[in-house]
Structure 1
Amino acid sequence: MNKKIHLQDLGNKDYKETWDYQEVLFKKIVDIKLEKRTNPELVTPNYFLFVEHPHVYTLGKSGDMSNLLLSEKQLEAKGATFYKINRGGDITYHGPGQIVGYPIVDLENFFTDIHKYLRFLEEVIILTLAEYNITGTRSEGETGVWLDVGTPFARKICAMGVRASRWVTMHGFALNVNANLGYFDNIIPCGIKGKAVTSMHVELGAAVDEEEVKRKIISHFAILFEANFKTSEMLRQFE
């Protein structure tokens, strides 16, 4: 099993371009897995992309269009784009000040359990938030990381939605660090009515060093998944 993960920070990158590139990496891993049937000595690679997107709303394959509260003209006026995509979950927002992480990994290199994978992703964020004295937790039946679950003040700080096929993953998580939360007013986040969203900035009352948060995320991911990260040069053609 290959537990090495190629890490790349793409900076600020268009959502569709990044999605297309995820698909390239995803297909590469799946193709190697298929070839392994006749050549079992082949090793599948793993990738982890950090990215920040310009304002965009994305709707998962099980999502409801009515959860987008803007018309096409209103989207354009706000400088935002919209995509229906092939991950699980409903609608969410991505934008500046948000750390988005896309693990594109072969789970057969780690463990073959999608439920465990999602819980581990949540735990990575929960442990990261704890380093800032923010108590993140899970909300039963609602993927992602929340604060003050079970109270009238429950609010979501990190959304998650993944796709997996042949034990290969794509898409991932979006942690609100310094994000402009006003953009969430234009959707029913994750299709869940009556619950708010928040950010590390709001909770702490001050801007947060996003590079430091990324380092903490990678550290916790490496421990939980027993993985080794390597800063990758192989994705430079995408920059």
Structure 2
Amino acid sequence: MNHILNKKVKFINLGLIDYQQAWDYQTEIFDDIVKLKIENRKEDLPDQKATSNYLLFCEHPHVYTLGKSGSEDNLLLDEAGLAEKEARFYKINRGGDITYHGPGQIVGYPILDLDNFFTDIHKYLRLLEEAVILTLAHYSIEAGRIDGLTGVWLDYEKQENPRKICALGVKSSRWVTMHGFAFNVNANLDYFNNIIPCGIDDKAVTSLNKELGRDLDIEEVEQILKKNIANLFEMELV
């Protein structure tokens, strides 16, 4: 072991926050952790400092974000259309294609040094999906994965009407993660009509309130989701 393990994770709920502001905050934390990891490599183990971990929850005003591997053609609005919808558009440095964020959606940004947990991005993504799947099970909704497609889906087995309820897109460097997931709880799904979500044009998008026929207490959903993430990653939230 050449690394001081730290499984404590600082949880911060940023509330409703502008996308750019949250992105800048994430980037600052991410850069600090990466910088410390580089400095630690020059030190013997007793002189190294433990790296920090964060889990940020928030909601964003209406915004579309396009990942590095995405196509701008999947945004179906021009500047005038964005203004009419009171929505912003950003090209960002995560993987994945285009997605929508807005009020009524739990957006989670785990900024973790995976050296503190496990160094496996595939496992990291699957555990985030599993936390959402377990949260949906609490509300008696069966969800799962579709081979080759990241995220959490309903009707994932027969796929007669497959619909995505949670999207994922992450960036990692030196095993430090940023960006994360967007879980539709009380989201306004009309905004998804203005994009080809994640570049997939033959599958629908849904939300927890649409599936249950009622709006949810989003704070209650956040508490359940947060607990599931902590359990799966064996992290200690502080």
Q: TM-score, normalised by structure 1?
A: 0.95
Query: Which residue in 1 is equivalent to 2:230?
Result: 222
Q: CA deviation at 1:152?
A: 2.3
After TM superposition, the structure 1 = structure 2 runs for residues 23-172 of structure 1, keeping only pairs within 5 Å, are 23-39=27-43, 40=45, 41-149=48-156, 150-172=158-180
Deviation track 1:179-233 (CA, whole Å, cap 9, x = no partner) reads 0000000000010011110000000011111111111111111111110001xxx
AA aligned opposite 1:77: E
Query: Which residue in 2 is equivalent to 1:14?
Result: 18
Query: Which residue in 1 is equivalent to 2:201?
Result: 193
Deviation track 1:55-88 (CA, whole Å, cap 9, x = no partner) reads 0000000001110000011101110000000000
Which whole-Å CA distance do the structure 1 matches of 2:52 and 2:24 have between them? 18
AA aligned opposite 1:8: I
**RMSD between aligned residues:** 0.7
Q: Which runs of 4+ in 1 moved over 4 A?
A: none
Deviation track 1:99-119 (CA, whole Å, cap 9, x = no partner) reads 000000000000000000000
Which whole-Å CA distance do the structure 1 matches of 2:183 and 2:149 have between them? 15
Which whole-Å CA distance do the structure 2 matches of 1:151 and 1:29 have between them? 41
Q: CA deviation at 1:146?
A: 0.3
Deviation track 1:148-176 (CA, whole Å, cap 9, x = no partner) reads 02322100000000000000000000000
Which whole-Å CA distance do the structure 2 matches of 1:154 and 1:2 have between them? 39
Which whole-Å CA distance do the structure 2 matches of 1:78 and 1:215 have between them? 31
Which whole-Å CA distance do the structure 2 matches of 1:56 and 1:164 have between them? 23
Unaligned runs of 5+ in 1: 231-239
% same residue: 63
